[in-house]
Amino acid sequence: MTGLHAIPLTRYVCFGCGFSEEWIESRANLEHLRDAYGYARDDPELSAGEESIQRQLGLL
């Protein structure tokens, strides 16, 4: 058993065009995922996006 649990996602669906997206709102759940899987810091394409997201969430 890994100790991981389901993490709730907030989902947005546009019924006009079919666009959808999901995100995690809880900082505690984000930290749980980070602790379980770590960061993908070796991938330069992800690092800039990751920094932007962290700034938006107030993590930086």
List all residues 6 or more positions away from 50 whose beta carbon is below 8 Å from its beta carbon. 39, 40, 41
Write down the pLDDT at residue 39: 67
Write down the pLDDT at residue 37: 76
| CA pair distance 9, 5, nearest whole angstrom | 13
Rounded mean pLDDT for each run of 10 residues along the chain, 60 residues in total: 71 94 89 77 62 74
Cα dist from 12 to 19, 28, 33, 57, whole Å = 8, 21, 21, 18
Cα dist from 5 to 9, 23, 38, 40, 59, whole Å = 13, 16, 16, 21, 22
pTM to 2 decimal places: 0.48
